[in-house]
């Protein structure tokens, strides 16, 4: 929280996020028993709470990215994988055939009561037993839920041809994400520090759509998941992959505190450019490359890059050390350890 306030802490805060396969390999290598043991070993400073699905058992859960099956939004997910790991991809889009806003309004939408936050206070108490952690409430990926309901191609076409369809879908999704977050804040009795929204708008080469389209049709919903919580005195965090430099100024104006995960090998997202443009006005998370450096570099190269990120992005606080996305299982364990040992042992 010191770093997010742009004050230099005793050491850079850090966080670990990896696939199940990566985490299992690290646990075996280190002789640890649980994911929490691994977070403590690395010195990770964040812990996460989110809503639990308690709705009809005909659905697999709140969002099928992690559960597969058909989730509460009606999105159908298929398990796909390679020699290293497995993910879930959306293949059934329940609003694909919708032709009018009325079709969307008449859809059988989930309700906020299908989610529970009754466990949040106890979970936070367990996380904070030994020492306080930065508690993050994950409200979900409002944009990805929206396009997965419609199908990505149709969603992108709608932005041009019938943006009222986008408004109708995102309005419903955003309202539910906001309401469950408000309920979690009340349940936690002030113990949540950061609220986290998500929705990729960047790609390897630039934004998925023009900044102008984003400002007109997407940003009002993004604002509704940032501004009210910032006004309540909470820190705010937003996840998007890819190159998003053209809209960072907009996000700062909304009140965003922390942008993640900083994909460095994309246009404009290198640390030098980010700190030149936005120093002291927003904090950055991640930035340690998962595409080339971690899987193909040496431990020494990883150590040098981590130190570089800390010295540039964390020169005035404002930086949380982490990989630029989930650490994949093809990353050598020695490189994972180099990342976190370097950050854990660094002192300003």
Asked whether residue 23 is domain-assigned, the answer is: no
For 59, the domain range is: 48-315
Number of domains into which the chain is organized = 1
Q: What is the CATH number of the domain that holds 155?
A: 3.20.20.210
Asked whether residue 321 is domain-assigned, the answer is: no
Helix 333-345 × helix 299-313 angle, to 10°:
40
Asked whether residue 9 is domain-assigned, the answer is: no
Asked whether residue 258 is domain-assigned, the answer is: yes
Asked whether residue 174 is domain-assigned, the answer is: yes
Asked whether residue 267 is domain-assigned, the answer is: yes
> How do the pLDDT tens digits run along the chain, 348 residues long?
999 999 999 999 999 999 999 999 999 999 999 999 999 999 999 999 999 999 999 999 999 998 999 999 999 999 999 888 999 999 999 999 999 999 999 999 999 999 999 999 999 999 999 899 999 999 999 999 999 999 999 999 999 999 999 999 999 999 999 999 999 999 999 999 999 999 999 999 999 999 999 999 999 999 999 999 999 999 999 999 999 999 999 999 999 999 999 999 999 999 999 999 999 999 999 999 999 999 999 999 999 999 999 999 998 899 999 999 999 999 999 999 999 999 999 999
Asked whether residue 52 is domain-assigned, the answer is: yes
Helix/strand/coil (H, E, C) string of the chain?
A: CCHHHCCCCCCCCECCCECHHHHHHHHHHHCCCCHHHHHHHHCCCEEEEECEECCCCCCCCCCHHHHCEECCCCCEEEEEECCCCEEEEEEECCCCCCCCHHHHHCCCCCCHHHEECCCHHHHHHHHCCCCCCEEEEEEEEHHHHHHHHHCHHHHHHHHHHCHHHHHHHHHHHHHHHHHHHHHHHHHHCCCCCEEEEECCCECCCCECCCHHHHHHHHHHHHHHCCHHHHHCCCEEEEECCCCCHHHHHHHHHHCCCEEECCCCCCCCCCHHHHHHHHCCCCEEEEEECCCCHHHHCCHHHHHHHHHHHHHHHCECECEEEEECCCECCCCCHHHHHHHHHHHHHCCC
Asked whether residue 25 is domain-assigned, the answer is: no
């Amino acid at each position: 929280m010191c770093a997010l306030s742009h004050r230099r802490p005793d050491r850079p805060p850090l966080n670990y996020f990896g696939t199940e396969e990566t985490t299992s390999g690290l646990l075996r290598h280190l002789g640890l028993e649980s994911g929490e043991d691994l977070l403590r070993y690395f010195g990770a400073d964040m812990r996460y709470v989110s809503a639990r699905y308690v709705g009809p058992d005909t659905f697999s859960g709140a969002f099928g990215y992690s559960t597969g099956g058909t989730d509460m939004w009606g999105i159908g997910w298929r398990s796909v994988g390679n020699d290293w790991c497995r993910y879930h991809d959306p293949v059934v889009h329940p609003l694909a055939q919708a032709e009018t806003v009325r079709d969307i309004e008449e859809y059988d939408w989930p309700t906020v009561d299908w989610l529970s936050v009754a466990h949040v206070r106890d979970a936070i108490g367990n996380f904070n037993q030994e020492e306080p952690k930065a508690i993050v409430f994950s409200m979900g990926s409002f944009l990805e839920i929206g396009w997965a309901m419609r199908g990505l191609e149709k969603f992108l076409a709608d932005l041009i041809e019938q943006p009222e369809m986008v408004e109708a879908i995102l309005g419903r999704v955003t309202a539910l994400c906001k309401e469950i977050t408000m309920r979690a804040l009340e349940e936690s009795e002030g113990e949540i520090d950061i609220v986290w929204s998500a929705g990729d708008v960047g790609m390897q080469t630039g934004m998925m759509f023009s900044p102008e389209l984003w400002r007109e049709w997407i940003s009002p919903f993004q604002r509704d998941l940032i501004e009210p919580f910032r006004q309540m005195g909470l820190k705010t965090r937003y996840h998007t992959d890819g190159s998003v430099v053209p809209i960072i100024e907009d996000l700062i104006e909304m009140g965003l505190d922390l942008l993640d995960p900083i994909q460095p090998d994309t246009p404009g997202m290198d640390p030098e450019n980010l700190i030149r443009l936005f120093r002291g006005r927003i904090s950055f998370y991640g930035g340690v490359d998962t595409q080339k450096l971690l899987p193909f570099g040496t431990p020494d190269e990883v150590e040098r890059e981590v130190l570089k990120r800390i010295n540039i992005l964390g020169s005035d606080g404002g930086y949380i050390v982490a990989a630029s996305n989930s650490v994949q299982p093809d990353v050598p364990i020695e490189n994972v350890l180099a990342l976190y040992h370097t950050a854990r042992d660094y002192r300003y």
